[in-house]
Structure 1
């Protein structure tokens, strides 16, 4: 029998370790490694953020999770800017998705043109590497929600020509391409007939397929069809959020390894811990209950609820747990970073509050015994491998 005092000591050490993981200032070694490495984050929602409320992210901003000074401090030099299209009937199939996607791409080009000493658009792995050597921040682009394709393969080529290099097939509702993990109406039971053709054509032109957000059935259908590795641009693990289909389970991770793809871990607290996920479920339940009773919700309903029920932020250590599990299950070559900065509101974990925080993650990885070589794979090496394989396949087809 273990003595109670031993258990108390063990718990104390564990809690102390967790606190230290979240509050320790990164070492010079961690900062140096972060700064000297290409750092790809495959999902940052700046385009839609500044579309809704303009901010000049070439300079320091008062809000949001990203701006140039903070990104430089954090060592971020190759963010994928999310061309996010809301999933609703107002956009789907009515030309508005196509229009909005082009506007968001325009805004990224404008940033690069306005500050050419700081930013450059990146549409290839060679662009990323060249611009890193030049000291410029590469702005790559991924489309979150394939709605702008609008059932026309010509639009796929159009957005590829404009620099988009991955497409998240669906978002929070099923569209003309795929069912969504959030949508209980499984219209297609996976991919639509057009969606299956789209996967093949995306392979052929070198457009990466993003399996974040899609239903499990759609995921496995992509696995069967895709001839190139796929990405999950901003997903975490269902192991730590049971029942949350938006995250990936162990069987999906094993399928991802077989495909050669990579999962880019989402930092949002509700993607990282069940307690954070449950907090949102309880908030929504309170709202639904109030509406059923005919109560008109006040503008500060969420704030009032939060005041009485503090949000259980995830910790840096818990984000690291997700990375650890991927590595333990399928290996170091299949995991990266897809933070969802500017996309998950104020739910970011302690120690990872904005783009200046990547050295904290690197320090955490060092503390857990990851080598510099392995850390570089997580920061960009794995994503670059997958992207290069897509480029090579396209050259042959």
Structure 2
């Protein structure tokens, strides 16, 4: 299991607790849709997983959510590799070094298996590589810290393949405020952040508003001349008070912008019950640290004991489908997609959506809810490709 768990998700959860799995019958039609169409998942945390422990994902792996055999089984052929930079490295040259290192890992995956994988720098390359039977690996940077206030670094990372940047992560950085950071240093975007958004439009790097504060979201939309993305966010309507998710007004604004929200699968992102569980667990952990001391044996066993005594109430496939339905009812079919956060939310994934082999389950769920083939294809990749192409076209003209 990946030990790097983002704020708003879980810390390590004991695998001794196994949730009940809701069986879903996947039809040949669902499998065919998965295998015959481009599937873009806009946020998978393989590179940082490899930073913590190198494994060869070109072959079957014992842990994690992604490897080549499971991707092929699920029909996944265009997963964005997240170049995740912890907020602890903000304002440090190490953030830029780590970003380059994580990109090197993705290039190493391709180098090990050029018959299986290829870097994708454009929508055209995704389409061409899909036709060849290759899995495309486009890149997105999670946390703009490596830009270091220097637009030359934006160009550097564009040339290395970065095609979206999540402006901030769990703390305010030099670009934007974070939804998790209550200090609101910039009251939205910093002066440099506003300059960066405009320059990202010109270069052809998509603006990702996942993780940022509400004020930063609206300011980014006001400045951007192109549609933006939420690469791995879900809906606040289902998790009241959780600013990391988007509320209905933000979703409507995203629709007017022409953008797309890519739904995060993590249980704490998609159900109120799991979200409340996560907040209580964090509070209980903080209290235990104060009472027991962080270096004590009792505190070190906190996660395992807590999970045994208070198991996570896992979300289900239907929970994720409810988020997709809500977006469609609110602003239409053109603005929703998949941003699972596989390998980034630890053991908090819903039943029937536990790894990258599970996209046919999602497709079957959509079929069961009455979605047409054409609309499902939009959700799988069409909507994201439209936004990506719009950014490419704008950059070509500017």
SS at match of 1:233: strand
**What's 1:188 paired with?**
186
User: 1:148-167 residue pairs with structure 2 within 5 A?
Assistant: 148-167=146-165
Q: Retained in 2: the 8 A contact 1:121–1:140? A: yes
**What's 2:15 paired with?**
none
- Measured against aligned partners, the alpha-carbon deviations of 1:218-258 in whole angstroms (never above 9, x if no partner) come to 00000100000000000000000000000000000000011
Give the structure with higher Rg (CA). Answer: 1
* Whole-angstrom distance in 1 between the partners of 2:144 and 2:20: 41
* Whole-angstrom distance in 2 between the partners of 1:291 and 1:103: 33
Does 2:296 correspond to 1:298?
A: no
Q: Retained in 1: the 8 A contact 2:289–2:299? A: no
- Measured against aligned partners, the alpha-carbon deviations of 1:160-210 in whole angstroms (never above 9, x if no partner) come to 000000000000000000000000110000000000000000000110000
User: 1:315-354 residue pairs with structure 2 within 5 A?
Assistant: 315-354=316-355
SS at match of 2:81: strand
Does 2:93 correspond to 1:95?
A: yes
**What's 1:251 paired with?**
249
Does 2:103 correspond to 1:105?
A: yes
**What's 2:36 paired with?**
36
SS at match of 1:167: strand
Q: Retained in 2: the 8 A contact 1:22–1:317? A: no
Structure 2 stretches lacking a partner, 5+ long: 1-18
**What's 1:220 paired with?**
218
TM-superposed CA distance for 1:300, in Å, is 2.1
Does 2:372 correspond to 1:371?
A: yes
* Whole-angstrom distance in 2 between the partners of 1:20 and 1:126: 42
Task: Decide which of 213, 232, 235 is 1:234's aligned counterpart.
Answer: 232
Structure 1 stretches lacking a partner, 5+ long: 1-18
Provide the aligned C-alpha RMSD in A.
Answer: 1.3
Number of residues of Structure 1 aligned to a counterpart in Structure 2: 377
Q: 1:94 to 1:20 in 2, by over 3 A?
A: closer
Q: 1:21 to 1:395 in 2, by over 3 A?
A: farther
**What's 2:13 paired with?**
none
* Whole-angstrom distance in 1 between the partners of 2:101 and 2:291: 41
